[in-house]
Amino acid sequence: MKEYYKNYLNLHKNHMCRRMHFFGQILTLLFVYNVSILQLWFLLPLSLFVVYPFAWAGHLLYEKNKPLAWSGLNDYGWTTLKAKACDWIMFKDIIIGRLSI
């Protein structure tokens, strides 16, 4: 996963792309919070998709590359799942100051 995350960060060099991912992750957390407050548990699976419009816009508009989530299965294995995990690792790295936006 360490090598995969390095590759992931190479596809997220643009600060605006990182900001779009970060904003999408914040909205994901707010979505989950509201689902839990309103007890609309059937909506919880949708939380997996909240970030995508923001992340994909970041890639297409600023980074000018294709999101890893679009790769599906490849040499890395289950790319979409690993990309989702790396979204959260990058979110954490931004919060703790390891990455700048």
pLDDT digits 0-9 by tens, 11-64? 999 999 999 999 999 999 999 999 999 999 999 999 999 999 999 999 999 999
Tokens encoding 23:
């904003």
Domain boundaries, the chain: 2-95
* Start-to-end CA span in the chain (Å): 23
Q: Read off the pTM.
A: 0.87
Burial zone of 4 (CB within 10 Å; 0-12 exposed, 13-18 middle, 19+ buried):
middle
Average pLDDT of the segment spanning 1-16: 92
Q: Are 63 and 12 in contact (CB under 8 A)?
A: yes
